[in-house]
Structure 1
């Protein structure tokens, strides 16, 4: 797989993971209220930690590879760091359990935005025609 293709795959995977995280945070509690059998998945703390455990290395690899190719603006790194911090704080229930969902949703959106920004910075083939 060519390097540029791998970079695009990493960013796309990270954006997809952020989307899954949003679905988990926003839709699963509603589904669990309607179907109590899903409640155990909606409140599974291990799942929150698993999202962060996958997001950290995936985001780090994608952004470090992109930075080596073409230096990233500090604001992009800051947006990614804020996103990862929000995800981590939400997964750990810090500073309070009541802030878990807002921190996780905000972190997920910030991280997805950073990956989208990173993806848009890459040169893309233009359509001929």
Structure 2
């Protein structure tokens, strides 16, 4: 069961890092203009999305101690990951990128928190 807690902790941390990237980096860019090239690089968004997808799929789809899967958590995780990928692809627009990334990260973090709490209360 430790792998599940570690996976959820990694998912929560990754979502938090994503929030920092989206919300705090623009402030840092205004203070340090050279950071802007890294902050706006499209590959950064794709890296977050490609890390979050497999991690969420593995951790959130694992059965609990009774052998059941929580399909609502799986759906929430899929929605969060989908938003991250749509944001990375700048769909529908570039202006929607930050709100979609933040929403996707919050949904994913919430799913991992619920999953973590459920697994900790199962013991």
- In the alignment, which residue of structure 2 is the partner of 1:5? 2
Deviation at residue 29 of structure 1 after TM alignment: 1.0
Residue deviations 1:56-104, cap 9 Å, x none?
1111111122x26442333222211111111111111001111000000
Larger-gyration structure (1/2): 1
- Asked whether 1:44 is paired with 2:41, we answer yes
Q: 1:113 aligns with which of 110, 113, 117?
A: 110
Instruction: Note the 1:75-90 alignment, pairs <5 A.
Output: 75-90=72-87
Counterpart CA distance in 2 for 1:125 and 1:18 is 24
Q: How many residues align?
A: 122
1:75–1:125: structure 2 CA closer, same or farther, 3 Å change rule?
closer
Q: In the alignment, what sits opposite 1:56?
A: 53
TM-score with structure 2 length normalisation?
0.91
Which 5+ residue runs of structure 2 have no aligned equivalent?
none
| Contact kept in structure 1, 2:64 and 2:119, CA below 8 Å | no
> Secondary structure at 2:106's aligned position in 1?
helix
- Aligned-pair CA distance for 1:124: 4.5
RMSD: 1.7
2:119 aligns with: 122
The structure 2 residue matched to 1:29, chosen from 19, 26, 30, is: 26
Q: Which has the higher contact order (CA 8 A, sep 6+)?
A: 2
